[in-house]
Copies of this chain bind each other. A is one copy, B any other.
Amino acid sequence: MFSVGIIGASGYTGSELLRLLVNHPNVKVDFAYSKTFFGQAISSVHQDLIGEDLPDFTNNVNPEVDVVFLCLGHGKSKEFLSSKAFSNKTKIIDLGNDFRLTDDSDFNGKTFVYGLPELNRMKIKEANFIANPGCFATAIQLSLLPLAKNGWLKSDVHVNATTGSTGAGVSLSETSHHPYRNGNMSHYKAFSHQHLGEINQSLRQIDSEKSGEILFIPNRGDFTRGIFATLYTKLDVAFADILSAYENFYKDEPFVNVTTENISLKPVLQTNNCLISVEQKGDYVLLTSVIDNLVKGASGQAIQNMNLMLNLEETAGLRLKSAAF
C-alpha cells in the first residue's frame, strides 16, 4: 500500500479525495491536514465518511508519504511548499492553479507536468510533480484536442459552459447562497476566465499553428455538480472524418467516450468520465462535453494521475457508479 497525505482536506476537492481514496485498493490515507479542523474526526465534518477507517484531521504532515495532494486555494500551493518539506521520493499533485502554465512550472527545483492524461500520459508516468488541470479546462480541452491534433483549429471557437455550485468551493459567498442560486443562472469572467491560459497552452502543444480565439462564457448553474459545455467552430471537413478523428483519439482512453447522440449532464456525475457528443451543423462542428467538476475536473483526475505515477492500473479506485438521476 502506498501512503498519501492530503493538504486542505476539509474543502471540496480534499474531501472528494478522501471519499475516493477510502475505496482505492492500493493506497491508504496517512494524514489529512486541515488548519481549521485539526484534532477533530474527519467524520465530524464529512458525515458521509462516518464508519470509514480514517485518521483525525491533523496540523502535522508526514514528510515521508508516497504522495501528497495539495487542495489549497489558488495561489496558496507555492506558499505551502515553501514552508513544508517532503522527502525526495514524495510525489506531489497540486489541484490549484499555481503550476499549470509552463512559465510557472518550475519551483524550488521541482518541475511540474500538466496532468491531463489524455494529452501527457507518458510525461505523467515519469513525473514527480503534477499540476492537475482546472475543471472547465478539462471539459474544454478534451473536446478540442482531436481538432488540434488534426490541425482543424483555424477559426474562433465559441464556448459556453455552466458549472455547478461546488465549483465555487466550500467558502460561503453570495453567489453560492441557496436563496440566490436556486432556480437562478448568471455568468462571470466572460471572455477572461483564468483557465483560458492552460487551454490554449495545451492546444498549441499539439498544434503550434492553431489560430482563432477561444471565446468563453462561463455560467453559474442551478445544480451542485458538473460542467455542461457546448463549443462550436467553423470546419469544412466531412462529418465522417471528424467523427473518426474523435473516435481514434479516444479509442484507448478509459474515461473519455464519444457519441453522436444528444447528451445531457447527469450521465457523468459522480464518475471520472468525460462524455463528448460530436455533431455537424452546416459549416460548424458542434461539440458538447460533460464532466463532474469534482471528479474528472479535480479529485478523480488527480487520482488518475497518481495511478499513472505509481504505475498502478489507471482506473484503480475510479470505477465509479454514475449518479444517473
- A interface residues, Cβ below 8 angstroms from B: 12, 15-16, 19-20, 23, 44, 46-51, 158, 160, 162, 164-166, 170, 172-174, 176-188, 190-192, 215, 217, 219-226, 228, 230, 232, 257, 259, 261-271, 273, 275, 279, 281-282, 284, 286, 288, 294, 319-325
Contacts and interface: CB of A to CB of B under 8 A. Distances in A.
Contact of A263 (B47, B166, B222): B47
A187 B158 CA distance: 15
Nearest to A225: B325
A192 B279 CA distance: 13
B259 A232 contact: no
Contacts of A51: 257, 273
Given A191-B282, A219-B228, 8 more contacts: A44-B261, A170-B179, A178-B181, A180-B264, A183-B224, A185-B265, A186-B264, A219-B230
A180 B168 CA distance: 12
Contact of A19 (B178, B217, B223, B324): B324
Nearest to A169: B179
Q: Which of A162, A174, A185, A319 has the most CB of B within 10 A?
A: A185
Nearest to A160: B160
Given A19-B321, A217-B230, A325-B12, A165 B182 contact: yes
Contact of A262 (B187, B223, B263, B268): B187
Contacts of A230: 160, 187, 190, 217, 219
Contacts of A172: 172-174, 177
For the complex of A and B, list the 5 residue pairs with the smallest distance between their C-beta atoms, beginning with the closest. Answer: A48-B322, A48-B267, A186-B264, A172-B172, A47-B267
Contacts of A324: 15-16, 19, 46, 48
A183 B186 contact: no
A44 B262 CA distance: 11
Contacts of A257: 50-51
Contact of A178 (B165, B219, B266): B165
Nearest to A187: B230
B325 A50 contact: no
Contacts of A259: 47, 50
A50 B267 contact: yes
